[in-house]
Amino acid sequence: MEAHRTDARTPAFRYAARAEGMVASEIRALFAVASRPEVVSLAGGMPYVSALPLDGIGEMVSRLIATHGAEALQYASAQGDPALREHICDVMKLEGITASADDVVVTVGSQQALDMVTRLFVDPGDVVIAEGPSYVGALGTFAAYQADVVHVPMDAQGLIPEALRETLTRLRSQGRPVKLLYTVPNFQNPGGVTLSAARRHEILEICETFDLLIVEDNPYGLLRYEGDPIKPFRAEDPDRVIYLGSFSKTLASGLRVGWALAPHAVRAKMVLAMESAVLSHSAFSQLTVREYLATQPWREQIKVFRELYRDRRDAMLTALDDTLAERCSWTNPEGGFFVWLTLPEGLDSKAMAPRAIANRVAYVPGTGFYADGTGHRHLRLSFCYPEPARIREGVRRLAVTIDEELALHDTFGPVPTRPTSGPHHPGPDLA
Amino acid sequence: MEAHRTDARTPAFRYAARAEGMVASEIRALFAVASRPEVVSLAGGMPYVSALPLDGIGEMVSRLIATHGAEALQYASAQGDPALREHICDVMKLEGITASADDVVVTVGSQQALDMVTRLFVDPGDVVIAEGPSYVGALGTFAAYQADVVHVPMDAQGLIPEALRETLTRLRSQGRPVKLLYTVPNFQNPGGVTLSAARRHEILEICETFDLLIVEDNPYGLLRYEGDPIKPFRAEDPDRVIYLGSFSKTLASGLRVGWALAPHAVRAKMVLAMESAVLSHSAFSQLTVREYLATQPWREQIKVFRELYRDRRDAMLTALDDTLAERCSWTNPEGGFFVWLTLPEGLDSKAMAPRAIANRVAYVPGTGFYADGTGHRHLRLSFCYPEPARIREGVRRLAVTIDEELALHDTFGPVPTRPTSGPHHPGPDLA
């Protein structure tokens, strides 16, 4: 009966072409070390969920299961719970968006919304335009669908419209199929910059001229620490924009509840894409968010998060000013989680990472945020998770690291830039 | 400032080729009606979660948030919670599988596990072998990746090895790239049949000969109501089999916690695929399952489900015997949720569906379970959700419907078979 076992061969795993690009980042091993308590991690994008009223949420969920258990533990509709979608429209109203719950699709975090959009629109070889640098998780998704990501540079005002126009003109003259513009307009991840209102109008015009879909990813919009909110693209053009939102930063990342607000013509296909991917998102997670929005003071909780993160941002910016003003430059985020730092010429953030870890501080090297292997002179610092005193200590250690690296550089010349292997997958804690 | 709005054009949504196959099923509208309370639905595959001890689960989750809230509400690792993966190995032990938690990847239901496997292995145009009929959700996933599904017939003992060998020989001679065999060996959805032990060995040999990966989907394995368990493929050949499991039927579908047990060589790419799709599954859902398995009498609860579903299966089989023995044939499931019924010659389950709804009973027409447009003479009946008395009434209404249809047929001749449009997406309630 077991005769066939003797000539069993190890199967040849013939992967799909799209799987070839799925390789673990070289820096992944470093990050395993970065999670040790003696290391100050300025790398991860984890929200500080300990600031939530855990007892209240626990009681709320217990009540939810007692009163709506048969619903919370059952399959949901592929589009998502209708009452939750109504609440999501209320949340988006705070950003200036008027929308119908019928056009909202609830997803497994906004990451899955991005996966579904890419599934619907991107054939292998299609071009996706993204800010340079761009969100590492988006680059991973685009790579999984064999998109060709073309970066357009940013400055302190965000994506540069003239550079976008030039890039699109060039791609059109080359006959390249450009499918969408992916942008994080508010407190960009990793750039920390915000796209100005004037530029949003200009970019919208350019996207109309080139008939380009805009995928607007706005996980941090409600976490603004200074300045006035700027209207999202979606508020200006509901037909051209797929808007992605998330409760990961305003409530809890562990619920994995995000959403896409799609043009009405696209929504039905989004739902079918959801069915093909997961049947439906967790009713348990969805109803937990629904109850939270219906019964808890969620607007006040966002204010709590805002105060908390503002303090941390201020701690980081002050510490950078105190220690690195003469050697580095960095962005000045009005909200969100991230500062983007530029090293002195000749330094390489990826080559420097082992020294940083040895000095007990972690960051994400800039190369992770580019699909084209650039970004060596940059790095991303997060201020969302560690407390202010830890942030100050982390920046101090970073300054020491940069000093040591500069001394080495003065002695031996610049570190040779190592080739990178496309978009990285540094793990969800770096979202 | 708003000048550009005047010449704004509606964008041309240029979908990816894979999106073309994503069309809503024609029977979807029918199912909206089927959910009305006066209709006995024998269509859906929803587990009867009301049989769970809801108060106990509510208290457990409340405690979980109070004691592990910062973990339960935070991002998880892309592979899934390590302790949960250990528990999953204990669950698989009940099926005769010995595995390391290191090779388990937690997914958003086993549907997402299937999506990830297809993402990793299937290029557009690759052939996937599936039982005919096969699980409708799998057909939707395969269609989303532009796989070419080739069905191999079953009989009362499950997939027919000789037919598999012939199909593979033919495809090889045509130079077609065959990537994997997708099979639901236990209490198949929708067929209700179980693959015999002898055939499992034979099929494994064939897959070795043709170097074919086996994707073994086993959501119902622990819900056996009679007869002896049969070893899964995975227990026989850990290297060739990707095994998919789920808590949707043994605990709660609303948590969306499933898993893939992958050969060690494949596991790392599965994790990268998960990151590209959702970053990580919900820690909240994962830790809820972890706590449930660690603190609640889950083995006893599976016995409760088993008794409950056995009664419902018996109610359905007895009712079928009492009303349709002379006109129809059907399978005799030893477990799971489904009976597969064959109509008298000349009848068409899809054409008959409006009459069934008018008679206040719903089923899923057989065409939904074939990628090749066949299946008109068959339909799937579920006994998992309605109580026994409702099942009996539903079968009685089905018998009336078949009688009426037969009378029409005798008068006017057979109903012309309508063309179908590839795999359907009848919604998650039909899982």
Query: Quick check: A227 pLDDT over 70?
Result: yes
What is the tens place of the pLDDT at every residue in B239-284?
999 999 999 999 999 999 999 999 999 999 999 999 999 999 999 9
Indicate yes or no: CB of B74 within 8 angstroms of CB of A9: no
Encoded tokens for B164: 């598999």
Question: Left, alpha or beta for B395 (phi > 0: left; psi -120 to 50: alpha)?
Answer: alpha
- Average pLDDT of the segment spanning A1-11: 51
- Average pLDDT of the segment spanning A352-367: 95
| B204 touching chain A per CB within 8 A | yes
How far does B374 lie from chain A, in Å, by closest CA?
21
Query: Quick check: B122 pLDDT over 60?
Result: yes
Contact indicator for A27, A41 with CB cutoff of 8 Å: no
Of the listed ranges A92-101, B15-24, B52-61, B399-408, the one predicted with least confidence: B15-24
- Average pLDDT of the segment spanning A325-353: 97
How far does B403 lie from chain A, in Å, by closest CA?
34
pLDDT given at position B11: 81
What is the tens place of the pLDDT at every residue in A384-428?
999 999 999 999 999 999 999 999 988 887 766 655 544 444 444
pLDDT band at A7 (very low <50, low <70, confident <90, very high): very low
What is the residue-averaged pLDDT of chain A?
Answer: 93
Report the CATH fold assignment for B74-296.
Aspartate Aminotransferase; domain 2 (3.40.640)
Could you say which residues from 78 to 137 on chain A have a Cβ atom under 8 Å away from some Cβ of chain B?
78, 108-109, 111-112, 115, 119-123, 126, 137
Please work out, in degrees rounded to the nearest 5, the angle formed at the alpha carbon of residue B22 by the alpha carbons of B19 and B24.
150
| A210 touching chain B per CB within 8 A | no
Residue that has been written with the tokens 């077991």 in this structure: A2
Indicate yes or no: CB of A255 within 8 angstroms of CB of B73: yes
Q: What are phi and psi of A111, to 5 degrees?
A: -55, -45
pLDDT given at position A412: 83
| CA B59/CA B67 separation, integer angstroms | 12
- Average pLDDT of the segment spanning B20-39: 78
Complex ipTM tops 0.90: yes
Residue that has been written with the tokens 């191999």 in this structure: B152
| CA A17/CA B100 separation, integer angstroms | 28
Q: Which residue of A has its CA nearest to B178?
A: A14
B15-51+301-412 and B74-296 agree in CATH topology: no
Please work out, in degrees rounded to the nearest 5, the angle formed at the alpha carbon of residue B137 by the alpha carbons of B258 and A273.
95
pLDDT more than 90, % of chain B: 87
| B13 touching chain A per CB within 8 A | yes
Cβ within 8 Å of residue A329, ≥6 positions away = A341, A342
By three-state DSSP, how is residue B339 classified?
Answer: strand
Cβ within 8 Å of residue A389, ≥6 positions away = A315
pLDDT band at A60 (very low <50, low <70, confident <90, very high): very high
pLDDT band at A27 (very low <50, low <70, confident <90, very high): low
Contact indicator for B133, B370 with CB cutoff of 8 Å: yes
pLDDT given at position A310: 98
Residue that has been written with the tokens 């080495």 in this structure: A408
Q: Which residues of B touch A201 (CB under 8 A)?
A: 1, 4
What is the residue-averaged pLDDT of chain B?
Answer: 93
pLDDT given at position B24: 77
Indicate yes or no: CB of A428 within 8 angstroms of CB of B208: no
| CA A353/CA A27 separation, integer angstroms | 8
pLDDT band at A20 (very low <50, low <70, confident <90, very high): confident
| A387 touching chain B per CB within 8 A | no
What ranges do the domains of chain B cover? 15-51+301-412, 74-296
Indicate yes or no: CB of B119 within 8 angstroms of CB of A63: no
- Average pLDDT of the segment spanning B298-319: 98
Q: What are phi and psi of A286, to 5 degrees?
A: -65, -45
| B276 touching chain A per CB within 8 A | yes
pLDDT given at position B21: 79
Residue B205: closest CA among A405, A1, A208: A1
pLDDT given at position A417: 60
Q: What are phi and psi of B385, to 5 degrees?
A: -100, -50
pLDDT band at A23 (very low <50, low <70, confident <90, very high): confident
| CA A79/CA B293 separation, integer angstroms | 30
Contact indicator for A84, A106 with CB cutoff of 8 Å: yes
pLDDT given at position B428: 43
Question: pTM value?
Answer: 0.94
Query: Quick check: B422 pLDDT over 90?
Result: no
pLDDT given at position B425: 44
Query: Quick check: B5 pLDDT over 80?
Result: no
| B255 touching chain A per CB within 8 A | yes
| CA B245/CA B260 separation, integer angstroms | 6
pLDDT more than 90, % of chain A: 87
CA R_g for chain A: 22
C-alpha distances in Å from residue B386, one per residue of A26, B44, B176, B391 = 53, 10, 44, 6
Closest partner residue to B8 (CB to CB) among A177, A208, A255 is: A208
Contact indicator for A234, A241 with CB cutoff of 8 Å: yes
Closest partner residue to B428 (CB to CB) among A4, A78, A145 is: A78
By three-state DSSP, how is residue B78 classified?
Answer: coil
Please, what CATH class does the domain formed by A15-51+301-412 belong to? alpha beta
pLDDT band at B409 (very low <50, low <70, confident <90, very high): confident
pLDDT given at position B199: 98
Higher pLDDT residue, B131 or B29? Answer: B131
Residue A113: closest CA among B10, B430, B425, B279: B279
pLDDT given at position B27: 64
Q: Which residue of B has its CA nearest to A71?
A: B254
C-alpha distances in Å from residue A386, one per residue of A31, A43, A209, A247, B195 = 16, 10, 44, 20, 54
| CA B426/CA A275 separation, integer angstroms | 9
pLDDT given at position A418: 55
Q: Which residue of B has its CA nearest to A69?
A: B54
Q: Which residues of A touch B268 (CB under 8 A)?
A: 24
Closest partner residue to A256 (CB to CB) among B16, B141, B278 is: B278
Which secondary-structure segment (H or E) carries B362?
strand B361-362
Query: Quick check: B228 pLDDT over 70?
Result: yes
What is the tens place of the pLDDT at every residue in B51-107?
999 999 999 999 999 999 999 999 999 999 999 999 999 999 999 999 999 999 999
pLDDT given at position B410: 86
| B25 touching chain A per CB within 8 A | no
pLDDT more than 70, % of chain B: 93
Query: Quick check: B20 pLDDT over 60?
Result: yes
| A32 touching chain B per CB within 8 A | no
pLDDT given at position A219: 98
Contact indicator for B317, B391 with CB cutoff of 8 Å: no
Contact indicator for B379, B343 with CB cutoff of 8 Å: yes
What is the tens place of the pLDDT at every residue in A30-58?
677 777 899 999 998 999 999 999 999 99
Which secondary-structure segment (H or E) carries A134?
none
Query: Quick check: A8 pLDDT over 70?
Result: no
How far does B230 lie from chain A, in Å, by closest CA?
14
Q: What are phi and psi of A258, to 5 degrees?
A: -130, -175
Contact indicator for B409, B415 with CB cutoff of 8 Å: yes
Closest partner residue to B254 (CB to CB) among A177, A276, A284 is: A284
C-alpha distances in Å from residue A114, one per residue of A105, A146, A261, A350, B280 = 12, 14, 11, 27, 14
pLDDT band at B9 (very low <50, low <70, confident <90, very high): low
Higher pLDDT residue, A3 or A380? Answer: A380
pLDDT band at B430 (very low <50, low <70, confident <90, very high): very low
Contact indicator for A401, A394 with CB cutoff of 8 Å: no
Encoded tokens for A71: 């619903």
Q: What are phi and psi of B149, to 5 degrees?
A: -80, 125
Contact indicator for B261, B92 with CB cutoff of 8 Å: yes
Higher pLDDT residue, A23 or A184? Answer: A184
| A77 touching chain B per CB within 8 A | yes
Contact indicator for B99, B245 with CB cutoff of 8 Å: no
By three-state DSSP, how is residue A75 classified?
Answer: coil
- Give exposure, B196-231, as e/b (b: 16+ Cβ within 10 Å): beebbbbbbbbbbebebbbbbbbbbbbbbbeeebbe
By three-state DSSP, how is residue A314 classified?
Answer: helix
pLDDT given at position B270: 97
